[in-house]
Structure 1
Amino acid sequence: MPSTDLADEDLLGYLEESLPVERMSIVESALRSSESLRQRAAMLLRRRDDGFHSVGDIWRRHRLSCPSRRQLGSFLLEALDQEEQDYIDFHIRTVGCRYCAANLRDLEESRNQTPEVEQRRRKFFQTSAGHVKSLRRD
């Protein structure tokens, strides 16, 4: 892929590790083969670190389009209205938001925990809570 085909947003997304996996691979391959592209990425990083922020930079950095963990949990339970369900599905599957996909996987795993895992978690919490109480008394 010629380095001119990559937008600044692609390079910044790569640097922030916020692109879908396939796009990350494409950008990384292009960076490996192009010194001018590496220089462009370094310049963008310096500009960002020097305080230059576009609306897009702020939007991406603070993940303003990402649903909350609570919304993701409701999505998992199919408890949202159809428009919200569709948006989250699009955000994860089409946009490829890795942060939300990881958050959703974590919610799915916690939903599918075995009784042994839950018992172990409860035991750790109880021993930790007792330890914290004894520290407060000292």
Structure 2
Amino acid sequence: MRWQPFLEAVQERGEYPSALEAERASRVVLALLGAHVVGEERNELAACLPETFALILLNPLQAAEPLSAERFVRAVSAWIEGANERTAAWDTSAVLSVVADAAGDALLERVLLQLPPGYDMLFGHPES
């Protein structure tokens, strides 16, 4: 996916007034996600993203342990100035739902296998 369509999709889903806010949320969410997805899945996911975001995903923040979906949202909240858990959940879902669309169902399923329960909701793909 190219830069402009990715950011436009995040901006629309997150209802951000500017592309800058969509970019800020994307950078934080992808940096945290990159710490939790490893191996081929991380590489394939990066290949679906615009180059700048791919590099963020491939050079993640370090995680001492896998974060539950709830703790992931709290971490996003801590990294986005002025965010709280409610707005961070919104930011996370706006970004990850666009990532899910870019990745496709097969790759998303493999990514979700690496993550603790609950991330399916953040990606906008609740388990059936």
The TM-score bracket by the shorter chain reads under 0.3
Relative contact order higher in (CA < 8 Å, ≥ 6 apart):
2
Q: TM-score, normalised by structure 2?
A: 0.24
Larger-Rg structure: 1
The structure where helix makes up a greater share of residues is 1
